[in-house]
Structure 1
Amino acid sequence: MFKKLLLTVFVLCSMSFYGQTTITGKVYDEYLEPFPSALINSVQGQTTSDIDGNFTISVKAKFPFSIQVSAFGYKTEVIEITSKDQEVNVILKENTALDEVVISASRSPERIIESPVTIERIGITDMKRNTSVSFYDGLANLKGIESRESNYGYKAINSRGFATFDNTRFVQLLDGAETSIPALNFSAGNVLGLSDLDVKSVEILPGASSALYGANAFNGILLMRSKNPFNYDGISAYFKTGQMTQEAAGTNPFYDVGVRMAYKFNDYIAAKVNFNAFKAEEWHANDDTNTTGVGGVVKEGDRDSHSDYDGVNFYGDEVVFPLPGIGRVSRTGYAENQIYDYDGYNVKFDGSIHYRPMGNDKLELIYNSRFSQGNNSYQGTNRFSQEGYSLEQHKLEVIGKNFFVRGYYVGNDSGDKTHDLRFAGVALNERYNPSENWFGEYATAFAGGVPGVTPGNDKSARDFADRNRLKPGTPEYRKALDEIIATPINEGGAGIKDKTGYYHADANYNFRDLISWAEIQIGGSYRKFNINSQGTLFTDKDSPINFDMYGAYSQIQKSFLDERAKLTASIRYDKAKNFEGNYSPRVALTYDVGGSKNKIIRASYQTGFRNPSIPEQFFGLRSGPNRFILGTSVENLTRFNAVVTNSGTGAPSTSTITGSDAFNKSYTKDSYNQFLGVLIAGGAPALPTALASLDKADVKPVEAENVKSYELGYRSIINIGETNIVELDLSGYYNQYENFVAFKDVVVPNYGVISNGIPDALATAALANRDVTNVTLNTNSTADIDSYGVGIGLTTKVFKTFNFGTNYTYSKLVFDQASDPSFQPGFNIPEHQLKVMFGNPNLFKNFGFNINARWQNDFLWQSSFLDAQVDARTVLDAQMNYRIPSLKSKIKIGGTNLTGKEYVVAPGSGLIGSLYYISWTINN
């Protein structure tokens, strides 16, 4: 009995010893620097290397066995372990860019070179080379990607045209959840996004992507992935500071800090938190160029030569009145820097807890919350100050080997001080002297009725009418501005009040472990909105607006011809309230030329659709005196009504304009301008001729827009000699658009009746007296609109160790303006873009550098704010960095727009100056 017991103890001890085989080792990069956060996998479990590259892993296996060492952006190394005393040193080598694995193109892992569609990406390696102050800014260096820089913390990313700062045609996802502002349906840059410390990868699909990602993935989709605390634990931090220089703003410091803390408690539970904050002076907008008004164009002359001067970044001068014997006169406006202080900041926090019930990555439950608060300016129909805004997102997600299910809520709060700068200027003028009195005083002074005022002189008459004007910087001015900001815009102030949110759920299942002959996926999504702007943005003054949308999709991928060809076919159906359902098919084929998997041809047919955004459906926004932007869903036309003012002799002092009026008794803006031109030139006798020039507006309620996209591409990895590799990526596309949504300007007489396009006597008087309301409608164009483009990208090494890359993008709009004269396509991108990268991550021990240059030609910018030509520009960014292994740190010194030549990304936005920075990053 004792012998049996002794034998049992011996066996158990042997099993225990066998189960506790521990392997230690160290991971290095190609430059023999310690590699942190490398993933070490064995049959039984996994671990990660620490900041010094060291790792320890316990394995229950007989010798010999293998472990796998990998990291995102690097080639996987397989190490055979033959004894417990084996010294394990692993060197990870960078993947070529086309060899890296992406998931966005097919919702399934695949090499970039084998992706069925065009894709751009950055990973951890690219982050180290980035010359911009953040990873998000660095996206502008990718092929075919445009960035609209508004200020330090807000950039709008887009691809393939048709975008402004409010880019509703481009979707942005973070770990599968959309980061768009609920009320406006577009992402405010990286405001609710990732910290530089938490970026694992960023992938961009330029072009239509609705087949897998649904509505609004029309121009493209950006997918950001964060680091999982199970694989990337520890504490890391950064501190950035430097100077921003601009002629208008001078030289100002900025500060940017971030901390990431992640901890793996055991194989079952891990958690992380991120905190980021920055404070920076925004780029000042001080364009004093004269314009034809809101949504108009630039015109010759300045304040001294035009009594109806309306400056680009001056507000209050939009109020214009035709004075008998004098002509059109505008009120004196306030400069933007007198209304807005450009004090930009942002604070964001996110935290998540991760649970793996099986102790591995086959099943993971994640709860995540994100919060963001700050100040910044935003340019849409007008310029806005977003002071004290906040955004939040809460997500619960279950991820399995072949599926995911997630649900989340996103909400925004405009805060107490968000306001429209244009209406702040208008209200300031009305506060010290109502327009009715001001124009009367001006006319009297101009006519010589005021002693001391030079008759017939605009400046002298204006100075008299402005004698009691509120002076910026005085307590009275500050008090009046604060009161105006606190008063909602629909009550005569400038305040924007908005608390809109939406709930979203989506799921996906991949049948790859159940079906072997092809890879099949199914998925679906549901979203419900609650719109609540209290009537300051939308027609929701009396009650919030609710609506929902849902969609379902399926995809099949099948390889054939000895795995050299792969067919991908997808289809999705989406339905939203107020609109008919849409089908979005996609078919793509890739073929491996030569069988080496290094030369791939691809062809695809994709479709995209976009349901009109919340603003396009429900806007009831005042954009100027007697001027509105109106959403044109059928529901909104019955909700909208507004009181407008009149100035004609014998006219009622006010009138009420309805949504029905904008559709049924309006004329095109161009024809109304012709009417005025004929009338001014010929006087009252020319009235019949002037009336004949009027064209009744032909508009319909807005519908979903669609795009059909045809694409060809070729990617190859070419070996040159024994060590050098050239990567080539070519693509071309042709897009055909249907029901394209854009602005159409119409003019509504404030009183009178229009029958079959013919105005009665009252309506004619309103038109002649300029007692009209200008309405910008969101509607669909009947014109044929096409676009096409070509992209070429090349990367290689030169002089043995230096990285070199270049890419060129050609973009062209095909549109016959005569087919829809009042339609503005707003393509808004240059025809030619060229980008170049050059650098060396290890020029000598611990020291590296990188340079990026971008050039583009001039182009026409069209928007509801202003139409104007944007000049050509060349932008040069550079950085050098030094690693300090003893401090586990990297110091980076760099700058953007180093030539110092300021440029504007869109008319009305601030000129972009130079930024110089130094950053210190620890443990990342």
Structure 2
Amino acid sequence: MSTRFVGLAGMLLLAAPALLPAQGTGTVSGRVTRASDGNPVSGVSVTVQSTRATTVTGNDGRYTLERVPAGQQTLTFRWPGYQPKEAQVTVTAGGTVTADAVLEMQAVLLSEVIVSTASRAPERVVDAPAAISIVDIPAVQAAAMTGQVPRALAAVPGVDLVQNGVTDFNVNARGFNTTLNRRVLVLQDGRDLAVAFLGAQEWGANLGGLEEAGRIEMVRGPGSALYGANAFSGVMSVTTPTAREAKGTKVSLSGGELSTFRGDVSHAGVLGAGRFGYKLNAGYSQSDTWSRSRTNLNDLADEYREATDTTIGPTASFEIRALNGQTKPGGAGVPGEATGDRDPIQNLYGTGRFDYYAANGAVTTIEGGATQVQNELFVTGIGRVQVTKAIRPWTRVAWAHPNYNVMAWYSGRRSLEPQYSLNSGLALEEKSGIFHGEAQYNRSFMQDQATIVLGASARNYQVNTQLTLMDAADDDRSDSYYSGYGQAEYHVVPQVRLVAAARYDESNLFEGQFSPKGAIVVSPTDEHSVRFTVNRAFQTPNYSEFFLRVPAGAPANFSALEAGLRASPLGPALAGVPNGTLFTVSAAVPIWARGNPALDVEKVTAYELGYKGQLGRRVFVTVDGFFNRLTDFVTDLLPAPQVNSQYVPWTSPTQVPPQFRPALEQAVRDQLNAAGQTLAANALTRLADGSTAIVVSYGNAGKVDEKGVEIGASIAVTDEIRLGGNYTFFDFTVKDSLTGDVLIPNTPRHKGTLEASYRGVQGLELGVRARFVDSYAWNTGVFAGPVPASQTFDANASYRINNYVRVNLIATNVLDQQRHQMWGGSIIGRRVLGGVTATF
């Protein structure tokens, strides 16, 4: 069904251009130069206003726009650091007209930057009805060089950027971060980048496409009214350039500490008198890892010794499996020091894109690619998991028009070699795919006084873990989601805009969810706005929380417990129970982690008050305050009888006379508690087949109020020098929680960033950033402990030797401050990389 759906969507998209009215077209070409010295300016965006058709200038400052509708047209020339300019041209059918432009340098007016993620339609950032930030191009390019895309968000107010490995990050906003966080929806050109089974990001597989001038927008705060499930704390939207915007060839090479090497090559061009465009991209990266094996009882203490003042002694547990490339002596139950060299983290990727450009500005796109990832390590609620080798294929077809957007995409994941739970040594498999189709319409009315956005989508998940993570009844499954959404905006007066949005989501995995949003935006001038918003969002449990079925530890030996009961006054009641079978197999009672298919979604109701303002031509300020109420948290793994209605406290065997059963069951709990085995006492139950087991599972519980303030500022000291900074305050109050479930936000109370950058006319770019994070407690799954305060300094430099070659240098954690950013995560050190990029 899903394959036919995507195929039908593809045929409709390919047919769409044929439905458009034909008209005469011509060509516009020209050259863009800098006013101060007459030198060409590359990378300038040249847009036809009537159709939004866009290209960029090459190294020589020249551009060509083909298939421009005949008649009077207005071109807009834009590039950060230069004053935008418009030019009027008259295009004749079949002819060519020249439009040159001379740009004056000026400080970037951030209030004039156009964004589209907050409303799913273009608008000035100062008018957006949400807390939204734009990551500038140098930050994106620096992040692409490191292979660490989330690092581009380091200067965004309110964002928690928690790093575990070289490419493993957790990106969150506004509290209650977790391992494998999925409260922020991450999109690339509208395609959800999450892994189907866990719903979280596999950042190492999201490397391609950003070597060019990618764009990132980050919306903080709930976004389910337009984006649905899992836009719980925000939306991160990555946009890559079309083939026409990336014409030419680019080769990037970089390397440095941790034995890092990275190579990327891309080529894009146009064919058929500008009707068709193509873009190809391929790359490879390799790096050592900061992760260490923990197969000995003192390994965690040794690893964390330089990172924290907290005393960590030898632990009672250890990981059974060493990191790939290393070996541990002895059997599975024997600790030992891992020896050998760790296998490097490797990523190999390739993408291809084909565009068709219609004369009215519509673009039809067919693209796809795949990334192979090896040896990255993830921290999960049940321990660390290492991916040996997996592949992430994807494809997308889209038809984008100024008023319409139709899209279908597929995103998959397949374990080429097993991924391993280091705690248990179990091999875990995943073969999954997400199929999605969506259509959207937007239009303005009443001379732009009113605007609407309407859309609908359908999505299908297919997940198969080959019985390594789910049982036969739940595995190899297919689940569907359907949604419809809309947003309406109305200018009551030019200075006051009302916004109302709503979305309805339905699935066979959860009850239908209605997500409304309301906002009022007051703009006393074009440079200032104040907004108040109220919205609701939700997050669905992932497949692990719904259907997990894995051992949670070595079997427990209750033989002594049984023997003690037989010697007690309750002994005669056990006469009919064969010896050694009181707990089915008393010498080996299994311990299971099980999902809960009856879980409800997590919910948040949010209230926000925000201000954005351009103060003069050189200062831009944002202030956002929020109050959120979160309910129905999915708990950590707790004793199943407490949270999952499928399980009840352990009951006596049927051979025990009924009058003795309550006393026997109480005696079992009492003796386990007295022996310090509280978890076993509360989690002892019977499985569906009647056998005894210790089971932990998930449930819904809890109510938390959270509040905070996010402040950001950017100051253009001169046209070349910019200073910036942000500060975030966060606080929370637990209103209700379940016994045994620890509700903490895994978020610092205070954090902030200071940065400075220089972008010179002669091609020199410099940047330095300091990030300050308060200490905080971390508790998710099996990992609970303190995270120390950190002060991290990053620096980058870039110099354009000529119009074709640029050299780059970037250093993260320059002072090599040894810190873990989540308890259980790896210690993150310094990394210095150098590179060269050639364009031609």
> What's the TM-score once normalised by structure 1's chain length?
0.74
Is residue 565 from structure 1 mapped to residue 565 from structure 2 by the alignment?
no
User: Distance between the aligned counterparts of 1:802 and 1:46, measured in 2?
Assistant: 29
Q: Classify 1:39/1:762 alpha carbon distance in 2 versus 1 (closer, same or farther; 3 Å).
A: closer
Q: Which runs of 5+ in 2 are unaligned?
A: 1-23, 91-95, 302-308, 323-331, 564-578, 642-648, 685-692
* Conserved? CA contact 2:552–2:593, under 8 Å: no
User: Distance between the aligned counterparts of 1:701 and 1:64, measured in 2?
Assistant: 61
User: Distance between the aligned counterparts of 2:660 and 2:36, measured in 1?
Assistant: 75
Q: What is the aligned partner in structure 1 of residue 751 from structure 2? A: 833
Is residue 112 from structure 1 mapped to residue 125 from structure 2 by the alignment?
yes
Is residue 764 from structure 1 mapped to residue 766 from structure 2 by the alignment?
no
Deviations 1:512-555 (A, max 9, x none): 36996521121111111222101211224785222211111111
Q: CA deviation at 1:199?
A: 4.1
Q: CA deviation at 1:240?
A: 1.1
Q: What is the aligned partner in structure 1 of residue 76 from structure 2? A: 68
* Conserved? CA contact 1:700–1:779, under 8 Å: no
Q: What is the aligned partner in structure 2 of residue 429 from structure 1? A: none
Q: Secondary structure at the match of 1:231?
A: helix
Which residue of the other structure, out of 769, 774, 780, is the alignment partner of 2:700?
Answer: 780
Q: Classify 1:914/1:620 alpha carbon distance in 2 versus 1 (closer, same or farther; 3 Å).
A: same
Q: What is the aligned partner in structure 2 of residue 377 from structure 1? A: 377
Q: Classify 1:130/1:716 alpha carbon distance in 2 versus 1 (closer, same or farther; 3 Å).
A: farther
User: Distance between the aligned counterparts of 1:183 and 1:227, measured in 2?
Assistant: 30
Is residue 752 from structure 1 mapped to residue 637 from structure 2 by the alignment?
no
Q: Classify 1:554/1:290 alpha carbon distance in 2 versus 1 (closer, same or farther; 3 Å).
A: same
Deviations 1:255-294 (A, max 9, x none): 01111111111321111111121100111236766999xx
The AA in structure 1 aligned to 2:664 is A
Deviations 1:809-848 (A, max 9, x none): 111121147x533222241111100100012122x83323
User: Distance between the aligned counterparts of 2:704 and 2:474, measured in 1?
Assistant: 39
User: Distance between the aligned counterparts of 2:716 and 2:80, measured in 1?
Assistant: 21
User: Distance between the aligned counterparts of 2:611 and 2:790, measured in 1?
Assistant: 30
* Conserved? CA contact 1:263–1:271, under 8 Å: yes
* Conserved? CA contact 2:553–2:591, under 8 Å: no
The AA in structure 1 aligned to 2:76 is Q
* Conserved? CA contact 1:28–1:53, under 8 Å: no
Q: CA deviation at 1:374?
A: 1.5
User: Distance between the aligned counterparts of 1:501 and 1:299, measured in 2?
Assistant: 43
User: Distance between the aligned counterparts of 2:659 and 2:137, measured in 1?
Assistant: 64
The AA in structure 2 aligned to 1:745 is L
Give 1:656-675 correspondences, 5 Å limit: none
Q: What is the aligned partner in structure 2 of residue 121 from structure 1? A: 134
Which residue of the other structure, out of 150, 165, 177, is the alignment partner of 2:191?
Answer: 177
Q: Secondary structure at the match of 1:151?
A: coil
Give 1:331-730 correspondences, 5 Å limit: 331-335=333-337, 337-338=338-339, 341-356=342-357, 358-361=358-361, 363-375=362-374, 376-380=376-380, 381-424=382-425, 494-512=426-444, 518-540=450-472, 543-561=475-493, 563-593=494-524, 595=525, 597-626=526-555, 648=561, 649=563, 650-652=579-581, 654=585, 701-719=598-616, 725-730=618-623
User: Distance between the aligned counterparts of 2:386 and 2:196, measured in 1?
Assistant: 18
User: Distance between the aligned counterparts of 1:919 and 1:366, measured in 2?
Assistant: 32
Which residue of the other structure, out of 726, 739, 742, is the alignment partner of 1:821?
Answer: 739
User: Distance between the aligned counterparts of 2:519 and 2:698, measured in 1?
Assistant: 34
Q: CA deviation at 1:112?
A: 0.9
* Conserved? CA contact 2:145–2:211, under 8 Å: no
The AA in structure 2 aligned to 1:111 is R
The AA in structure 2 aligned to 1:862 is N
Q: Classify 1:60/1:422 alpha carbon distance in 2 versus 1 (closer, same or farther; 3 Å).
A: closer
User: Distance between the aligned counterparts of 1:836 and 1:531, measured in 2?
Assistant: 44
Q: CA deviation at 1:880?
A: 1.9
The AA in structure 2 aligned to 1:871 is P
Give 1:851-862 correspondences, 5 Å limit: 851-862=768-779
The AA in structure 1 aligned to 2:632 is N
Q: Classify 1:60/1:802 alpha carbon distance in 2 versus 1 (closer, same or farther; 3 Å).
A: closer
Is residue 151 from structure 1 mapped to residue 165 from structure 2 by the alignment?
yes
Deviations 1:207-265 (A, max 9, x none): 21000000111111111000011222111121110113xxxxxxxx1101111111111
User: Distance between the aligned counterparts of 2:257 and 2:420, measured in 1?
Assistant: 28
Is residue 878 from structure 1 mapped to residue 795 from structure 2 by the alignment?
yes
Deviations 1:686-714 (A, max 9, x none): xxxxxxxxxxxxx9932112100000011
The AA in structure 1 aligned to 2:608 is E
Number of residue-to-residue matches in the alignment: 742
Which residue of the other structure, out of 883, 895, 911, is the alignment partner of 2:811?
Answer: 895
Which residue of the other structure, out of 721, 728, 747, is the alignment partner of 1:809?
Answer: 728
Q: CA deviation at 1:774?
A: 4.7
Q: CA deviation at 1:35?
A: 2.6
Higher helix share: 1
Q: Classify 1:332/1:270 alpha carbon distance in 2 versus 1 (closer, same or farther; 3 Å).
A: same
The AA in structure 1 aligned to 2:813 is N
Which residue of the other structure, out of 791, 804, 813, is the alignment partner of 2:710?
Answer: 791
What is the CA RMSD across the aligned residues, in angstroms?
3.7
The AA in structure 1 aligned to 2:203 is G
Q: Secondary structure at the match of 2:698?
A: strand
Which residue of the other structure, out of 250, 260, 270, is the alignment partner of 1:264?
Answer: 270
User: Distance between the aligned counterparts of 1:556 and 1:193, measured in 2?
Assistant: 36
Deviations 1:467-487 (A, max 9, x none): xxxxxxxxxxxxxxxxxxxxx
Q: CA deviation at 1:776?
A: 3.2
Q: Secondary structure at the match of 1:616?
A: helix
User: Distance between the aligned counterparts of 2:825 and 2:523, measured in 1?
Assistant: 47
Q: Secondary structure at the match of 1:792?
A: strand
Which residue of the other structure, out of 727, 731, 749, is the alignment partner of 2:624?
Answer: 731
Give 1:116-265 correspondences, 5 Å limit: 116-127=129-140, 133=146, 134-189=148-203, 191-244=205-258, 253-265=259-271
Percent of residue pairs identical: 20
The AA in structure 2 aligned to 1:876 is F
* Conserved? CA contact 1:521–1:555, under 8 Å: yes
User: Distance between the aligned counterparts of 2:341 and 2:670, measured in 1?
Assistant: 36
Deviations 1:140-192 (A, max 9, x none): 22111122212222222111122223112221111001011111111212523
* Conserved? CA contact 1:258–1:276, under 8 Å: yes
Q: Classify 1:729/1:178 alpha carbon distance in 2 versus 1 (closer, same or farther; 3 Å).
A: same
Q: CA deviation at 1:577?
A: 1.1
User: Distance between the aligned counterparts of 2:144 and 2:659, measured in 1?
Assistant: 61
Q: Classify 1:67/1:506 alpha carbon distance in 2 versus 1 (closer, same or farther; 3 Å).
A: closer
Deviations 1:559-607 (A, max 9, x none): 122x1111110011111114221110000111112x3x11111110011
Q: What is the aligned partner in structure 1 of residue 108 from structure 2? A: 95
> What's the TM-score once normalised by structure 2's chain length?
0.81
Q: Classify 1:662/1:131 alpha carbon distance in 2 versus 1 (closer, same or farther; 3 Å).
A: closer
The AA in structure 2 aligned to 1:777 is S
Q: CA deviation at 1:883?
A: 1.1
* Conserved? CA contact 1:525–1:551, under 8 Å: yes
Higher Cα Rg: structure 1 or 2?
Answer: 1
Q: Secondary structure at the match of 2:546?
A: helix
* Conserved? CA contact 1:263–1:272, under 8 Å: yes
Is residue 919 from structure 1 mapped to residue 835 from structure 2 by the alignment?
yes
Q: What is the aligned partner in structure 2 of residue 476 from structure 1? A: none
The AA in structure 2 aligned to 1:831 is R
Q: What is the aligned partner in structure 1 of residue 575 from structure 2? A: none
User: Distance between the aligned counterparts of 2:523 and 2:817, measured in 1?
Assistant: 46
